[in-house]
Amino acid sequence: MDKSAARTAAFARRQAAHKPHSAAAGYLSEVLAGYRGVPLAGYMAMRTEIDPTPAMQEAAAHGPVGVPVIIGAGQPLQFRLWEPDCAMIKGAFGAMIPEAGDWMIPQILIVPLVAFDRRGGRLGYGGGFYDRTLEKLRGVQPTMAIGFAYSAQEDDGLPLEPTDQPLDLIVTERGVITP
């Protein structure tokens, strides 16, 4: 299966699993509690993505939390500091980003995805933003990538490439998977 077909199938599974405003971030909060104060970056959920905001709010009480900002095509993401209730504006692709604030370098990334496998494989949206970002960050410091997804997004037949950066953990609404 090619990446396009894999994404189409995964989007359908995610759509079926999506439950807006659910308490799906409970296991993510538990994982992050073990890293209090470590700079982390989450993301602002779009469409049918599982929402990490409750876990990000808890983490922000203990240390810096950022969200990704797309600087340009073919470039790694940068991360702007985020706090609950900070002023947000639409960024590239419609993702919400803080209107202003300092930049930060995370040591933990909560990564959105289209599909994952139990070996730490991740299928993203196809822009390569997180792969470039993780490669750059991991070249400078240890950086943990936590894939956050619905369990229905699991797919053991992902068409992965050598440039795809692995996930260190996968957290779903059902639990934590360690590759």
Q: Count structural domains, the chain.
A: 1
Which residue type does 38 have?
V
Contact 109, 152 (CB under 8 A): no
pLDDT above 60: residue 120: yes
CA 10, CA 172: separation in Å to the nearest integer? 15
pLDDT above 70: residue 137: yes
Which residue type does 26 have?
G
Q: Is 39 exposed, middle or buried (0-12, 13-18, 19+ CB in 10 A)?
A: middle
Contact 125, 111 (CB under 8 A): no
Q: What percent of the chain has pLDDT over 70?
A: 96
Span 20-60, pLDDT tens digits: 656 678 999 999 999 999 999 999 999 889 999 999 999 99
pLDDT above 80: residue 18: no
* Secondary structure (H, E, C), 42-59: CCCCCCCCCCCHHHHHHH
Displacement of CA 139 from its chain's centroid (Å): 19
Q: What percent of the chain has pLDDT over 90?
A: 76
> Residue range 85-106: average pLDDT?
94
pLDDT above 80: residue 14: no
pLDDT above 90: residue 176: yes
What residues contact 104, with CB distance under 8 A and at least 6 apart?
39, 41, 64, 66, 79, 80, 81
Domain range for 7: 3-177
Domain of 133: which CATH number? Answer: 3.40.50.10420
